[in-house]
Amino acid sequence: MQPLLVWPDPPPPDLVRVLDMAGLAWTAVADENAARSGVWAGAIVAADEQGAAGFSMARALRRGDIGVAPLLLLIRGTQLADLDGRHDTFDDFCVTPFHPAEVEARIRHLLASEPGLETGPEIVQYESLLLNLETYQASINNRPLDLTYMEYELLKFLSSNPGRVFTRETLLSRVWGYEYYGGARTVDVHIRRLRAKLGEEFAGLIQTVRSVGYKFGESRWSV
């Protein structure tokens, strides 16, 4: 599945959190020129803070040379009247502040209802790291990673929760299962192997938090 186009850049942290937790691939763009550089599964335009610019971007995305569909528009309740005369620029809208489950449901509905568009496999993405949850394939910077089952499960859990710190005991219970009786050294060994397979350039994605445990990357929606 192609990524979703998201405007503006950077996008609202609450929207980033929804997209990441849903495992949806996305790329933020700053303007219509940047939009021309990709092929998109759809678009989300957050016009709630920049109304005029947001409506202008939505219209630009509908032009023939870009032609992005489907398009979800995020607006404030006070902007509802501004939708008059603009219904050809979006397929659905959601009022902010929104409930995360509602936004995700609207996105998935639009993707599923678009003719000829497949929603594709569930993906976990963090920067250049991609994990396909259906095929158990992983790659970083377009380089395939040869992971064991438990290495994959550990990387999937960590990358699905960027910025969160987990103790070794929590990782043992959440990744290996409560019935697993291995010690904390099991986690350390797998972390070491993961770092080696990620390579020197990306090994730092998995950080050691002294006297606590490990964390992966940084939260994309923290202020």
**Unique residue bearing structure tokens 């010690």:** 183
Written as one string, the DSSP assignment of 131-186 is EETTTTEEEETTEE----HHHHHHHHHHHTSTT-EEEHHHHIIIII-TT----HHH
Architecture of domain 4-113: 3-Layer(aba) Sandwich (3.40)
Domain edges within the chain: 4-113, 149-216
pLDDT(72) > 90: yes
DSSP state of 221: S
- At 116, the pLDDT band (50, 70, 90 cuts) reads low
- For β-strands 213-216 and 206-209, DSSP reports them as antiparallel
Give the per-residue pLDDT at 75: 97
Give the per-residue pLDDT at 201: 94
Q: CA 48, CA 96: separation in Å to the nearest integer?
A: 7
Query: Does 12 sit behind a cis peptide bond, omega within 30 degrees of 0 on the bond before it?
Result: no
Mean pLDDT of 177-203: 86
Q: CA 120, CA 24: separation in Å to the nearest integer?
A: 10
Give the per-residue pLDDT at 51: 92
Give the per-residue pLDDT at 121: 58
Q: CA 168, CA 187: separation in Å to the nearest integer?
A: 6
pLDDT(196) > 90: yes
Give the per-residue pLDDT at 43: 96
Mean pLDDT of 144-156: 93
- Please determine whether the domains at 4-113 and 149-216 fall in the same fold group of CATH: no
Q: CA 27, CA 43: separation in Å to the nearest integer?
A: 10
Q: CA 73, CA 125: separation in Å to the nearest integer?
A: 23
Strand order in the sheet with 42-46: 26-28, 4-7, 42-46, 71-76, 92-96
| Higher local confidence (pLDDT), 123 or 213 | 213
Q: What is the pLDDT of residues 203-221, one digit of tens each?
A: 999 999 998 999 999 865 5
Q: What is the pLDDT of residues 161-188, one digit of tens each?
A: 888 999 998 898 888 875 566 677 889 9
Look up the pTM and report it. Answer: 0.56
Architecture of domain 149-216: Orthogonal Bundle (1.10)
Per-chain mean pLDDT for the chain = 88
Q: What is the pLDDT of residues 22-36, one digit of tens each?
A: 888 899 999 999 999
- At 223, the pLDDT band (50, 70, 90 cuts) reads very low
Residue among 155, 150, 152 nearest 176 (CA): 150
pLDDT(65) > 50: yes
